[in-house]
A = this chain, B = another copy of it.
């Protein structure tokens, strides 16, 4: 009965909307829909790379990706949703890249710091894109929680990878949480010009010390 599979279910909430999870669950998209989605994300990243958050204008994204404005909103119910999805997309790349060349450090703390600094350098290459994604991430309200959570999980996975742990203790998970907090907030201070790259480095290295602090049993093989 349907045509192209439903993209998302809209509800008439007074002010905000909800979204479709970016996880490969949900109704599967047809090929053309998948293509549209890709075009949109590409346009989003492209525009963001130019002028950051402000340069990602929904009408422009729609035009660039050859899609009607209404369609854009069907795929991504708000600008924030779009940018968070863009971030998910970029994060996947990043995780893939990082996997290939695991960090070299001796201790878990060193490896995590190294990994985050590597990611940081990647962001420095596209500071505007970083701006758009991070601002969206921290500005997101409850209606974007699932997507933001997904980003958070992905980040956690990257950090745990760097630590090289199978069964992290609750304490270590707490440390990872704090590291993520620091990572996000440090990025923001850098993006808004209130902290230098060197300062971000120090902050990351500082917080990574928490890992040593929470590694009681065996850390070295």
Chain A interface residues toward B at CB < 8 A = 15, 53-54, 135, 138-142, 144-145, 148-149, 152, 171, 174-175, 177-178, 180-182, 184-186, 188-189, 192-194, 199, 202-203, 206-207, 209-210, 213-214
Contacts and interface: CB of A to CB of B under 8 A. Distances in A.
B181 A185 contact: yes
Contacts of A203: 174, 177-178, 181
28 contacts: A138-B139, A138-B185, A140-B192, A141-B192, A144-B192, A145-B193, A152-B194, A174-B202, A177-B202, A177-B206, A178-B182, A178-B203, A178-B206, A178-B207, A180-B185, A181-B181, A181-B184, A181-B189, A181-B203, A182-B185, A184-B185, A185-B185, A206-B214, A207-B207, A207-B210, A209-B210, A209-B213, A213-B213
Nearest to A176: B206
Max chain B C-beta neighbours (<10 A), residue from A148, A149, A185: A185
Contacts of A145: 192-194
A135 B142 contact: no
* Number of copies of this protein chain within its complex: 2
Nearest to A199: B177
Nearest to A174: B206
A140 B134 CA distance: 12
Q: 3 closest Cβ contacts across the A-B interface?
A: A181-B185, A138-B138, A181-B182
Contacts of A54: 15
Contacts of A171: 206
Contacts of A178: 178, 182, 203, 206-207
A127 to B, nearest CB: 12
Given A178-B178, A210-B210, 17 more contacts: A138-B139, A138-B185, A140-B192, A142-B193, A144-B192, A145-B193, A148-B194, A149-B194, A174-B202, A177-B203, A178-B203, A178-B206, A181-B182, A181-B203, A184-B185, A206-B210, A209-B213
